[in-house]
Amino acid sequence: MNRTQALTRWFTADNNPIQVFGTVAAIVVGAIAVRPIGFSGTGLAVLCLLVLVSLMLCTRLIPEGRLAPGPQLAVLCVWSAGAAALLCLERSGASALFAYFATGHAGYRLDSRRSLPFAACTSALCAGVLLLPWGSHNTSWIVGAFTGVSVLVGISNRAHTDALRSARAAAEQAELASRAEARAEALAERARIARDVHDVLAHSLAGVNMQLEVTDALLESGDIERARQAAQRAQSLVRSGLTEVQRTVGDLREDALPLVETLRSMLGSVSAAGTLTVDGPPRELPVRLAQVIVRCAQEALTNAHKYAPGAPVRMRLEYVERRDQRERLPEKTVEETVFEVVNSAPPEGSRPLAGAGSGMGLVGMRERLDLVGGTVTAGPIVDGDDAGGWRVRVVIPT
């Protein structure tokens, strides 16, 4: 809870210190100023009425909602009648304070349909008893006539309290929404990290396991040379898996992923004849989008190495700005990032590498791109210089 919410809760509490202090101060002032007080005659009557209105004043400390509007109005009527009678009998006029508190409390606890008529009746009653010829008072009737004015203060305080409570409720809802959003983002980030770890390790470990099984079978059959080759392929998969794990951990720690440098490093580790071209005005992509492109490149390079070993591989990264066809305004543009991986046909005499896959596959690529609103197309190349090869094209709106 922040400081604003704490102050709001304090001011809207049923028994905040200001309210308690005001109640105690009014009772103390009445006990000191109201006269005569005694144990016989008018003094006894004044004492009894003073005790009554003090008890009624203490009902201000009852938590809101504990008394229904009907009983609350009955308490206020007793309070008002006692204050008027006390005002008639005592000489100082200090008892008018209890009438002012009564109408102010009515404005705070009751709705306007009840509080305003109650305040008018209290004013008329207090002014009337002060106009009577009997009694020991020497207070002007004007003091009694204005006792109903404090109902406006009560109504204003009520509106202010309601506004504070609404603000507190809105702040609490905003805080709950913020926590829910933060939790959702944390869960999404955990899912993304889990997906990255799976993409890096799952297929690599599966390939290592398969190669080790092949090694075991070849050793049993006595084919030492082929078993050694299978063991070497397993070692190669372990090394590449460790490299990918290190790259993934580095990506997770980076605030901004150096996309072009990462793609160039990946391409160099797979194909000595690979090329990377960058078209369009470069821009820094969010880490999430950059990682999606890196994972797609990883899968495309793995498939090229698996199905067309030794074939040249070309990468192209293009930053595109085009007009949104759905908008009539010419200045409305859409930014896209286009990424392509093209491998030529495999050289003569090369054979696909069994068990070399380490990526997430085309389905995994589509799942990743769906999360960021992108698309992927992949298929064989049927004409041109790269006929017999394969093209992967990714388009991501940025």
Residue ranges per domain, the chain?
3-174, 254-398
Residue among 260, 261, 341, 294 at smallest CA distance from 192? 294
Which among 166-180, 209-223, 299-313 has the top mean pLDDT? 166-180
Sign of CA dihedral 270, 274, 279, 282: positive
What's the pLDDT band for 357 if we cut at 50, 70, 90?
very low
Could you tell me if 387 and 381 are in contact, meaning their C-beta atoms sit under 8 angstroms apart?
yes
Q: pLDDT value at position 385?
A: 82
What's the pLDDT band for 6 if we cut at 50, 70, 90?
low
Name the E strands within the chain: 275-279, 313-323, 333-343, 375-380, 390-397
**% helix / strand / coil in the chain, to the nearest 5?**
65, 10, 25
pTM to 2 decimals? Answer: 0.51
Q: pLDDT value at position 324?
A: 62
Neighbours of 232 (CB within 10 A): 12
Checking if the pLDDT of 27 tops 60, the result is: yes
Sign of CA dihedral 373, 178, 255, 202: negative
Q: What angle do CA 381, 386, 390 make, to 5 degrees?
A: 40
**Looking at domain 254-398, which of 3.30.70.20, 3.30.200.20, 2.120.10.30, 3.30.565.10 is its CATH number?**
3.30.565.10
Checking if the pLDDT of 11 tops 70, the result is: no
Span 197-213, average pLDDT? 73
Give the pair of three-digit tokens for residue 260: 């072009």
- Higher-pLDDT residue of 280 and 269 is 280
| 3-state secondary structure at position 277 | strand
Span 77-90, average pLDDT? 93
**Per-residue pLDDT reduced to its tens digit, 114-157:** 999 999 999 999 999 998 876 666 788 899 999 999 999 999 99
Q: pLDDT value at position 247?
A: 66
- Higher-pLDDT residue of 239 and 95 is 95
What's the pLDDT band for 223 if we cut at 50, 70, 90?
confident
